[in-house]
Amino acid sequence: MVCLALGIALFAVVLPWTVPIGWLIAPLTFGLALLVGMEFPVASRTDTANAATVAGRLYAADFIGASLGALLASTLLIPLAGVAATCWVTAGLNVIAAAAGIIRNREEGRRNK
Tell me the whole-structure pTM to 2 decimals.
0.74
For residue 94, count CB atoms less than 10 angstroms from its CB and return exposed for 0-12, middle for 13-18, buried for 19 or more.
Answer: buried
The yes-or-no verdict on residue 74 having pLDDT over 70 is: yes
pLDDT in tens, 38-63: 887 887 777 667 777 877 888 888 88
DSSP symbol at 82: -
What is d(CA 4, CA 102) in angstroms, rounded to the nearest whole number? 12
Cα distance between residue 81 and residue 73, in whole Å: 10
User: Is pLDDT at 110 greater than 80 in this prediction?
Assistant: no
Give me the residue spans of the domains in the chain.
Answer: 2-38+55-111
Q: Provide the pLDDT for residue 113.
A: 65
